Amino acid sequence: MAQRARPKEPRRMVMAMVFPMMVAGLFGCGSSPTTPASTPTPAPTPASKIAVFSDPTSSFSTSDVHDALDHILRFDSATSALIWAADGRSFPGFSVSGLFIRDDKFFQVRFGTKDGERRAYFTEAVAMTICEVEIVGGQIVITPTSLIVPGAAGQPAAPDAGGLSALPVRAPTGGYVLSFNARLNGILQPVSSLTVSSQELILVAHVEDSLGVAAQSGSVTFEYCSFKGLPPNDITRADEAPRSV
């Protein structure tokens, strides 16, 4: 008589046994409780202290300083920063000492009157003219102008919003580096001396304003000693005199 094969028992219990063992492994005995790492306390930042400027000729005081375009600037004396009042952005490097701005005291706050309102203006200390301040590419850019402070001592008050007076344009303060070069073996190289009538001397001038911004246009005039009777600007008959003969 033929026997029927028994149906195989399901194997689901094997999986059921594995799972509790894995869970038991996660919560096994013998592990010590962990102590959460302490978070370092950040160093405190200096508290903001907006400078207030006082007019020495009156009782007027203000923290709002105007530029040539009527932008409002403020200065944080605690962090030596210029504050762009329109959106609160701050730019370091503008320390305050009385009415002078920056460590070298290149800028100065001066007081004037416009539309009957007493105001403070951001000016160059020596030129005494109002500066134009803008933000370009996230950087502060300060440009000299020929505008004088309206209504300052000895100056007429500005009659309207566009009535700022103007002085003749002055060259901005700055500096230059002059280098002496010659083309030796086809390569432009700096030189400290040259044999008379040997190589052509090439002068190079690098000009920057007081903020270190290189000049983008203009001209440079070089002066030199020359022999009498020789035509200038003739490379075949050089008139430049040597240091000694």
**Is 88 in the same domain as 104?**
yes
Which residues span the domain enclosing 229?
173-245
Q: Is the pLDDT of residue 109 over 60?
A: yes
Look at residue 25 and tell me if it is in a domain: no
Q: Which of 40, 42, 61 is nearest to 51 (CA)?
A: 61
The mean-pLDDT minimum among 83-87, 90-94, 187-191 falls in 187-191
Q: Is the pLDDT of residue 59 over 90?
A: yes
What is the tens place of the pLDDT at every residue in 142-165?
999 999 998 875 444 444 434 454
**Is 136 in the same domain as 233?**
no
Look at residue 85 and tell me if it is in a domain: yes
CA dist 53 and 64 (Å) reads: 9
Tokens of 179: 């280098």
Q: Is the dihedral of CA 108, 109, 113, 115 positive or negative?
A: positive
pTM of the model: 0.49
Which among 151, 170, 189 is the end of a domain? 170
**Is 214 in the same domain as 231?**
yes
Residue scoring higher pLDDT (60 or 236)? 60
Q: Which of 214, 192, 212, 210 is nearest to 201 (CA)?
A: 192
Largest pairwise CA distance in the chain: 142
Which among 170, 204, 220 is the end of a domain? 170
**Is 231 in the same domain as 122?**
no
Cβ-proximal residues to 214 (8 Å cutoff; 6+ apart), any chain? 206, 207, 208
**Is 164 in the same domain as 62?**
yes
Q: Is the pLDDT of residue 68 over 60?
A: yes
What is the tens place of the pLDDT at every residue in 9-50?
444 444 434 434 443 344 444 444 555 555 666 656 667 899
Number of independent structural domains in the chain: 2
Q: Is the pLDDT of residue 212 over 70?
A: no
Q: Is the pLDDT of residue 166 over 60?
A: no
